[in-house]
A and B are shown apart, each in its own frame.
Chain A
Amino acid sequence: MDGMSLLTITVLAVFVGFEVVSKVSSTLHTPLMSGANAIHGIILVGAIIVAGQATDPWVLAVALLAVVLATANLVGGFVVTDRMLHMFHARKDTSRTGAAQSGAAQKADRK
């Protein structure tokens, strides 16, 4: 791809990036940071390409190190974000005071 097209895509991506997180609630700042962190682990694709073209053993060794680091970033980032978000849950009932009753009702429904 030529340089001008890449530049166009880069500039558009800046705006998309600003747009998608501009309305984020501060409740989710930590998972958002960790999720964004996981996304840049996609440098793994670059590391794989470089390792796949390596002919010199030293180059291969450094490239494989990059693959290990990038994988840790990518896999670890998504796993830990999922773990955090798994804990965020909505209130199970609609009324604030009737927690016990509606909880019991739900159990009864399931039976």
Chain B
Amino acid sequence: MSILDPAWTALLYLAAAVFFILALRGLSSPRTARRGNLIGAFGALIAVVTVFLSARLENIPWILGAIAVGSAVAAPVARRVKMTQMPQLVALFNGVGGGAAALVALLELPHAEGPWVRLAIVFTLLVGAVSFAGSGVTFAKLQELMTTRPVLFPGLPVVMAAVLLASVAAAVAVVISGSTAFAVLLLALGLGAGVLLVLPVGGADVPIVISLLNAFTGLAVAASGLVLGNVLLVVAGTLVGASGTILTRAMAAAMGRSVAGILFGAFRGGSTAGSTAVSERPVRSSTPEDVAVLLRYAQRVIIVPGYGLAVAQGQHTAAELAQALEARGIEVDFAIHPVAGRMPGHMNVLLAEANVPYESLKEMVEINPEFKNADVALVVGANDVVNPAAKTSSGSPIYGMPILEVSAARQVVFLKRSMRPGFAGIENELLYEPQTSLLFGDAKDSLARVLGAVKAL
């Protein structure tokens, strides 16, 4: 029995779609983001209630049970996950969404009429399966269940091409025959393609793949909406597909890479492999007390946090140091490179968790002209994102990547674990400049010692 007539159903789905658009718009500014997300959740609630009231459904107790199970599994995980593990959780949720879309398409196949609907079904099947398997591999890489380096084996491009050709053949067979057996085969090929797509992608590029797969899942959901004739799924999926595409391109641009270069770069010779050689050239090393004096007598300090800070769980100590300096009348900002952390924007989340107000978190374009007015640039656990080689040496693997121009500051202090080069494996000339000093040690320890020394002054 359906309670709602079709007009009301359509109206409520439209309302949900509008809420999703408002949610995405709200998410683009820190002031409105939280409200935006809640609006989105409300839209989702409306949609789920509407489907129960409008369609003639059997098995309702089973469905409610399945919803309860899904919520009971996901909500506690979402509530407890550490902020440093955010990238893998996003990958995981994205993957299960893609998997759900593929399963829905598989089950709709027997009801599909006409080649166009079947075409939408094979698209959902393939893209959903790629997203599911690709996200799974991404999760494994980020959780370090497997190596984070690019995985390559001889003949990988050939295998990939074979899988893609077989997928196309299976897809054509499904569209023509509507056979479930071919659909299951296509699903399996999609899973294989997803794995093969992500395996060759190396550590620092993995987060961009999450964004890309997010867009894929969106498109799969939109296609499933075409299959079911459900406008809400079409709109929501397309929104995510479009926004995910923009986001992926923005992130790739922040790294000075193309999306194709990230996906297939490893085929052309290890761009993210690099060397781990330790240089013997002399550097000026410093003590926590010296760094504290530099900071205490500065008027303007810019802190440049990198992933090393997050690894050392030092974001709270960094925030404390900033507060201690501000209490002494020193202007402190955090300069955030777009790809600092383990996914784009990740460092902002980590610092927000440590109670740094978002006004202090400056984007690269905003802060770069400010470095020349800074007395001290304090680089904590970052290397490649401040490496001038990205601007000067055209042979360098990071050449073209926009960087934070810390070299313009009067003094540059690096807190580093060792002289080992950063993720890209390139030497940083900045370390040997006369205005640079280095404080060796774990980022959190070093910060705590500097903080202690600042307070003692």
CA distance A26 to B226 in the complex (A): 32
Known contacts being A9-B231, A48-B57, A87-B352, is A76 close to B240, with CB within 8 Å? Answer: no
Decide if the interface of chain B is mainly helix, strand, loop or mixed: helix
Whether A97 lies near B329 (C-beta < 8 A) is yes
Whether A46 lies near B104 (C-beta < 8 A) is yes
Whether B251 lies near A24 (C-beta < 8 A) is no
Question: Interface with A: B152-160, B189-197, B242-250, B407-415, which one?
Answer: B242-250
Nearest to B241 among chain A residues (CB) is A17
Whether B101 lies near A36 (C-beta < 8 A) is no
Known contacts being A46-B104, A48-B63, is A18 close to B246, with CB within 8 Å? Answer: yes
CA distance A45 to B224 in the complex (A): 11
B-contact bits for A87-103, CB 8 A (1 contact / 0 none)? 11111100011011000
Known contacts being A9-B231, A52-B63, is A34 close to B86, with CB within 8 Å? Answer: yes
CA distance A105 to B329 in the complex (A): 18
Known contacts being A33-B211, A72-B96, is A50 close to B235, with CB within 8 Å? Answer: no
> A47 contacts which chain B residues (CB < 8 A)?
100, 103-104
Whether A78 lies near B329 (C-beta < 8 A) is no
Known contacts being A51-B66, A72-B73, is A27 close to B336, with CB within 8 Å? Answer: yes
> A74 contacts which chain B residues (CB < 8 A)?
44, 70, 97
Whether A20 lies near B44 (C-beta < 8 A) is no
- Which one of B60, B230, B345, B352 contacts A46 once the chains associate, using CB atoms below 8 Å? B230
Interface status of B222 (Cβ within 8 A of chain A): yes
Distance of A4 from chain B, by nearest CB (Å) = 11
Whether B247 lies near A43 (C-beta < 8 A) is no
Whether B90 lies near A34 (C-beta < 8 A) is yes
Interface status of B392 (Cβ within 8 A of chain A): no
CA distance A64 to B346 in the complex (A): 34
B-contact bits for A1-35, CB 8 A (1 contact / 0 none)? 10100100110011111101111111111111111
- Which one of B21, B57, B232 contacts A20 once the chains associate, using CB atoms below 8 Å? B21
Known contacts being A54-B59, A84-B349, is A69 close to B100, with CB within 8 Å? Answer: yes
Known contacts being A14-B238, A37-B93, is A60 close to B62, with CB within 8 Å? Answer: yes
CA distance A1 to B226 in the complex (A): 10
- Which one of B228, B242, B251, B352 contacts A14 once the chains associate, using CB atoms below 8 Å? B242
B-contact bits for A47-83, CB 8 A (1 contact / 0 none)? 1111111110001101111111111111111111111
Whether B29 lies near A28 (C-beta < 8 A) is yes
State the interface size on chain A (CB cutoff 8 A).
84
> B341 contacts which chain A residues (CB < 8 A)?
30
CA distance A92 to B358 in the complex (A): 11
Known contacts being A31-B37, A67-B67, is A89 close to B104, with CB within 8 Å? Answer: no
Whether B63 lies near A39 (C-beta < 8 A) is no
Distance of B208 from chain A, by nearest CB (Å) = 10
Nearest to B213 among chain A residues (CB) is A37
CA distance A99 to B359 in the complex (A): 14
Whether B352 lies near A88 (C-beta < 8 A) is yes
> A90 contacts which chain B residues (CB < 8 A)?
30-31, 357-359
> A62 contacts which chain B residues (CB < 8 A)?
103, 106-107
Whether B97 lies near A13 (C-beta < 8 A) is no
A-contact bits for B29-46, CB 8 A (1 contact / 0 none)? 111011011101100100
Distance of B25 from chain A, by nearest CB (Å) = 5
Instruction: Show 23 A/B contacts (Cβ-Cβ < 8 Å), sorted by A.
Output: A18-B245, A20-B28, A21-B247, A26-B250, A29-B250, A30-B87, A30-B345, A34-B86, A34-B90, A42-B237, A46-B224, A46-B228, A49-B230, A50-B107, A52-B60, A63-B103, A69-B99, A71-B69, A72-B96, A75-B71, A78-B41, A84-B349, A97-B329
Besides A25-B363, A40-B94, A99-B323, 15 more A-B contacts (Cβ < 8 Å) are: A17-B239, A20-B243, A21-B246, A28-B345, A41-B44, A42-B16, A43-B104, A46-B101, A50-B108, A51-B66, A66-B103, A67-B66, A73-B100, A77-B97, A90-B30
